[in-house]
A and B are shown apart, each in its own frame.
Chain A
């Protein structure tokens, strides 16, 4: 079950927020700057435009005046033709006083700027006429027509460059922000993954400190915390192991004491009673009393035997773990009514400590079967595989809805499973619990066995 990222829950990530913030600021500042520059530009161009119009008109008037004096019309035409090439000029007309055109030069100006921009710039075409007078004589009127098209085009071009550079600057800044946040915050992702590993029970995970100093600190603190958890867990395990060992030792010594002293005395008591019965002879009047005492000693002997076995089966030491499992399976069947079948390989040898631990795991697994599974049958299989002793406890019960295969679980009922896992870990073994709902649960333990 993926719980998703802890960081992105309901909020945009820092990088995205930075990008949006910076983007907005740049958009506003950029637009303002472009507009301000544009305005200044338009104002300047406007002034230049009208100045240029009067300059052009003056120049043309003076040139025509000079040339008209000498009657050099060819030069006038040439002058007009070259003049009209000026970017702002689109038409020059020289007409006589009656308005009849003497000379006219014009050129087509291509308008590529959007209409709205032309409106926005608001430079109107200029038509300027001046009368040519030489020594009191009239030589007609020169009219120049100036279109703002090329000026507007120039302003438009400059505005486009302004917008382009703003966008370019934004792209660069965005990439910078992305790179910097990824580099400085990236390790937080690693930190998150590591924390999730810890949640899964893998406490050995560590994060290599990286990124900015603000992130490096938490990573180092996390690592220290993980180490501390491992240390504490190790101490807890050691303590649990020691307590377990002490309990086993205590059980063992109490069981031995019960068996040796109490059990020994009881059997001798029974033997003595038996002898007494023989000596008294079959018809003696004490026989009923002796018989009841014999029965009492029998039941007491059984009681001691059950108590001893419940504390710790001595069979573990004398016969080993597998016969003990077989015996316990029989006892389990007898006590619970759940059929228990056992299939054991030839004697696999494991140390005394491991024998006890393995037996306790099997015992716990069977207890769980009796308590939770509703099974009618359990199958215990033990065999040696590649230097490992594999014990499987397969029940045909209802199975588990969700198998707890985690190192630490929250359920209070699963202390049994924690115990089994801890014991298996103590034996350097592997513990696995699996289930097919409706088909039953399987507990599998595999522990390495030495060839001793």
Chain B
């Protein structure tokens, strides 16, 4: 399932020489080697940049198939550089290459237009596959990351009233019993203004508009039986 045979060129952006050397070695050795999914590199197919500024200069001087971008750079944040590259060359695929495994980083990078998010502890084969996928214009997500992303957007199961803070909950129960806001304020030892703020917020959280809705909800779930300070 080799997706492309056109020779590709890659810009490696990383402030650590040893990382760049390692990846270069992996790409060059991999080109045409006896591997299941070899890479075809163009003539002078690997460029290197040790900082954000160098990277910006390099993409303007030469046309690359894709950029492999480290998240941590000395002169600018990887996200910042990604934004700048995308501003200069919106069509250039940028594959983030990061030592951070958390999906929050990947999400932030995707939001800025990254073509993929690759962990630095990936094996050579996955690195080559990611580069190839990105260079061909497709998005790359590693299987572990895919799992994390899925679980992070899985629907949340708690009932709306469980999201109310203790104070909002007490106002909520007070409203359901038809207690005037002034009395609620008195028994909670807070101002009437604060009680109205709580009321507005809890209605928003519950997706409700009226006190009657609150009363119905409380009655239906028998929340009234639980303790509240009235």
A residues with a Cβ closer than 8 A to B are 259-260, 263-264, 266-268, 270-272, 274-275, 278-279, 281, 294, 297-298, 301, 305, 314-315, 318-319, 323-324, 326-327, 330, 339, 341, 343, 377, 379, 381, 392, 394, 396, 399, 432, 434-442, 444
B156 in the interface, Cβ–Cβ < 8 Å? yes
Partner pick for B99 among A263, A341, A436, CB 8 A cutoff: A263
Q: B99–A259 contact, CB under 8 A?
A: yes
Q: For B16, B30, B104, B163, which residue has the most chain A Cβ atoms within 10 angstroms?
A: B104
With contacts A263-B99, A315-B102, A436-B227 known, is A442 near B22, CB below 8 A?
no
Residues of A within 8 A of B104 (CB): 315, 319, 323-324, 326-327
With contacts A263-B99, A264-B19, A278-B35 known, is A441 near B166, CB below 8 A?
yes
Partner pick for A442 among B18, B123, B166, CB 8 A cutoff: B166
> Which B residues from 76 to 122 make CB contacts under 8 A with A?
77-79, 99-105, 107-108, 120-121
Q: A436–B228 contact, CB under 8 A?
A: yes
Complex Cα spacing A438 to B22, Å:
58
- Nearest CB of chain A from residue B146's CB, rounded to whole Å: 15
B residues with a Cβ closer than 8 A to A are 16, 18-19, 22-23, 25-26, 29-30, 33-35, 71-72, 77-79, 99-105, 107-108, 120-121, 123-125, 127, 152, 156, 158, 162-167, 169-170, 205, 226-229
Q: B123–A274 contact, CB under 8 A?
A: yes
Q: B152–A315 contact, CB under 8 A?
A: no
Residues of A within 8 A of B101 (CB): 305
- Nearest CB of chain B from residue A104's CB, rounded to whole Å: 87
Residues of B within 8 A of A271 (CB): 22-23, 26, 123-124, 127
Q: A439–B163 contact, CB under 8 A?
A: no
Q: B25–A275 contact, CB under 8 A?
A: yes
Q: A436–B170 contact, CB under 8 A?
A: yes
Residues of A within 8 A of B164 (CB): 394
- Nearest CB of chain B from residue A339's CB, rounded to whole Å: 8
Q: A278–B124 contact, CB under 8 A?
A: yes
Complex Cα spacing A434 to B100, Å:
37
Complex Cα spacing A271 to B227, Å:
59
Residues of A within 8 A of B29 (CB): 275, 279
Residues of A within 8 A of B25 (CB): 275
Q: Chain B binding site: helix, strand, loop or mixed by DSSP?
A: helix
Partner pick for A394 among B105, B162, B227, CB 8 A cutoff: B162
Q: B163–A394 contact, CB under 8 A?
A: yes
Q: B152–A440 contact, CB under 8 A?
A: no
- Nearest CB of chain A from residue B35's CB, rounded to whole Å: 7
Q: A330–B162 contact, CB under 8 A?
A: no
A–B Cβ pairs within 8 angstroms, 13 of them: A271-B124, A272-B22, A274-B123, A275-B26, A278-B33, A319-B79, A326-B152, A341-B156, A381-B205, A394-B162, A439-B226, A439-B227, A442-B166
With contacts A327-B102, A439-B227 known, is A392 near B121, CB below 8 A?
no
Residues of A within 8 A of B26 (CB): 271, 275
Residues of A within 8 A of B226 (CB): 436, 438-439
Q: For B77, B103, B120, which residue has the most chain A Cβ atoms within 10 angstroms?
A: B120
The chain B residue with its CB closest to the CB of A272 is: B22
Q: A315–B105 contact, CB under 8 A?
A: yes
Q: A274–B158 contact, CB under 8 A?
A: no
Complex Cα spacing A20 to B130, Å:
97
With contacts A270-B121, A439-B226 known, is A314 near B100, CB below 8 A?
yes
- Nearest CB of chain A from residue B150's CB, rounded to whole Å: 13
Q: B158–A377 contact, CB under 8 A?
A: yes
Q: A319–B105 contact, CB under 8 A?
A: yes
- Nearest CB of chain B from residue A390's CB, rounded to whole Å: 9
Q: B108–A396 contact, CB under 8 A?
A: no
Complex Cα spacing A268 to B23, Å:
9
Listed from nearest, the 7 A-B pairs whose CB atoms lie closest are A442-B165, A434-B166, A442-B166, A323-B104, A274-B123, A274-B124, A267-B120
Residues of A within 8 A of B170 (CB): 436
Q: B99–A264 contact, CB under 8 A?
A: yes
Complex Cα spacing A10 to B55, Å:
83
Residues of B within 8 A of A440 (CB): 166
- Nearest CB of chain B from residue A145's CB, rounded to whole Å: 82
Complex Cα spacing A94 to B178, Å:
100
Q: A267–B166 contact, CB under 8 A?
A: no
Q: B228–A278 contact, CB under 8 A?
A: no
- Nearest CB of chain A from residue B33's CB, rounded to whole Å: 8
Complex Cα spacing A278 to B78, Å:
30
Partner pick for A343 among B19, B125, B163, B227, CB 8 A cutoff: B163
- Nearest CB of chain A from residue B95's CB, rounded to whole Å: 16
Residues of A within 8 A of B205 (CB): 381
Q: A434–B165 contact, CB under 8 A?
A: yes
The chain B residue with its CB closest to the CB of A273 is: B123
Complex Cα spacing A196 to B94, Å:
64
Residues of B within 8 A of A438 (CB): 226-227
Q: B162–A396 contact, CB under 8 A?
A: yes
Q: A268–B165 contact, CB under 8 A?
A: no
Complex Cα spacing A30 to B182, Å:
58
Residues of A within 8 A of B229 (CB): 436
Residues of B within 8 A of A326 (CB): 104, 152
Q: A379–B166 contact, CB under 8 A?
A: no
Complex Cα spacing A115 to B79, Å:
113
With contacts A271-B22, A301-B121, A439-B226 known, is A264 near B163, CB below 8 A?
no
- Nearest CB of chain B from residue A368's CB, rounded to whole Å: 14
Complex Cα spacing A294 to B125, Å:
14
Q: B166–A436 contact, CB under 8 A?
A: yes
- Nearest CB of chain B from residue A98's CB, rounded to whole Å: 100
Complex Cα spacing A259 to B16, Å:
13
The chain B residue with its CB closest to the CB of A267 is: B120
Complex Cα spacing A381 to B162, Å:
11
Residues of A within 8 A of B33 (CB): 278
- Nearest CB of chain A from residue B128's CB, rounded to whole Å: 10
Q: For A315, A399, A436, which residue has the most chain B Cβ atoms within 10 angstroms?
A: A436
Complex Cα spacing A272 to B21, Å:
11
